[in-house]
Amino acid sequence: MKKHWIIAAAFGMAVSLPALAQDKVKLVDVVELSGAGATAGTNWKNGIDLAVADINAKGGILGKQIEIVHYDTQTNPGNTRAAVQRAIDEGTYAVLGPVFSGPIGASMQIAQRAEIAQLVGGEAAGLTKQGNQYLFRTSLSQTAAMPKIAKYLKDTVKAGSVAVVWVNNDFGKGGRDAIIPELEKAGIKLAVDVATEQGQADFAADAIKVKNSNADAIFVYLNEEESARFLRAAKQQGITKPMVGETTLLGAKVIELAGDAANGVKGHVGLSIDAPIPAFQEFGKKFQAKYNYVSDHNGMKGYMAVYMVKWATEKQKKFDKKGVADTLRGATIKTSDEPGILIETTIEKNGDLDRESFLAEVKDGKQVITATLPKINP
């Protein structure tokens, strides 16, 4: 008799499993949780988890709960390709991540071939110049950011010459190649062009080189940890010239790691929890309450990525993988329609974004927003 009950229970469970699975929509996040991109990747992952928890608590997407899976790429392009393929094989609804531009470039064709939207955190200008209709940024592209930086260096910093320090990977090379023509256009002389390595630990020689260039300002375009190490090395060498950066240099993690050396850093930031936007500040509070540290822009990007998928799905009123990309392309997501997007965001046809951004400065270990810049195409 007992055996019959067991068989009946097992049968019942087996029948209900597909039903349970149907109540969920799977999202796979492919991200740098170790290696050189660990800082950025961890923030991105935590932002995603926060968004998923929020959405699931409110009933999910079109009544389905989100099942989120994270795969660590170890900041390795080969691993990233494998992880994206695995995500697609496992039936992910959309691919989230990675954050580093090199691994994005190495893996984006896989999602493209599968006609699945891939929402990434990378900023390298070249990513959206390859005609990939399934790649979407969550941050401003270097193409959008660098003219603002050059203008800032000329008009606000009043720099006649600038030293450019960049990391020799896709992100850094893209930034370097984007800023130098903009500096030329602005009539600013390139004092010295310093390439550094991803994961580099010792920046003493680079800091000395920059110091001896006698540039009026230094444009620093490195990843989070390297940014902090460079700022520390610059302080060690007694560099007092303005340090100017783009988003990463003014990030919470860099400020935390660099300590006093980050004070005085200026630049342009695409996203910041310190911006005078209530939704950003609210996100910052929620993030800190959950993870016990301050989110940087990558946390916000991860959060927004999930909401972009949610918005596109609800817009098309059905779960259609290809439709997500079709719906996102060329759309403008307003906060009145989807509060989770945090700020009105226009998605260009090529996957680039257009939205307001900010000028900021680090004062007493805190990022202070000094101005809000409008969208490029308001």
Residue among 93 and 203 whose Cβ is closer to another protein:
203
The phi-psi region of residue 247 (left if phi > 0; otherwise alpha if psi is between -120 and 50; otherwise beta) is: left
Residue among 256 and 320 whose Cβ is closer to another protein:
256
One-letter amino acid of 186: A
- Only one residue has tokens 């580099």, namely 200
Round to whole Å and give the CA distance between 251 and 254. 5
Residue among 144 and 194 whose Cβ is closer to another protein:
194
Count residues near another protein (CB under 8 A). 36
CB 344 → another protein: shortest distance, Å? 32
Residues 310-369 that bind another protein (CB under 8 A): none
Q: Is 211 in the site for another protein (CB under 8 A)?
A: yes
- Only one residue has tokens 């303005």, namely 242
Round to whole Å and give the CA distance between 166 and 198. 10
* Residues in contact with another protein, shown as a per-residue x/- string from 134 to 173 under the rule CB under 8 A: ----------------------------------x-----
Q: Is 205 in the site for another protein (CB under 8 A)?
A: yes
- Only one residue has tokens 């500096």, namely 183
CB 150 → another protein: shortest distance, Å? 23
Residue among 68 and 261 whose Cβ is closer to another protein:
261
Max intra-chain CA distance, the chain:
90
* Residues in contact with another protein, shown as a per-residue x/- string from 220 to 249 under the rule CB under 8 A: -----x--xx--xx-xxxx-----------
3-state secondary structure of 138: coil
200: burial class by Cβ within 10 Å (0-12, 13-18, 19+)? middle
CB 235 → another protein: shortest distance, Å? 6
Strands 95-96 and 118-120: parallel
113: burial class by Cβ within 10 Å (0-12, 13-18, 19+)? exposed
Round to whole Å and give the CA distance between 63 and 55. 10
Residue among 100 and 311 whose Cβ is closer to another protein:
100
Q: Is 130 in the site for another protein (CB under 8 A)?
A: no
Name the site residues for another protein (rule: CB under 8 A).
33-35, 38-39, 42, 168, 194-197, 199, 201-202, 204-206, 208-209, 211-212, 225, 228-229, 232-233, 235-238, 253, 256-257, 259-261
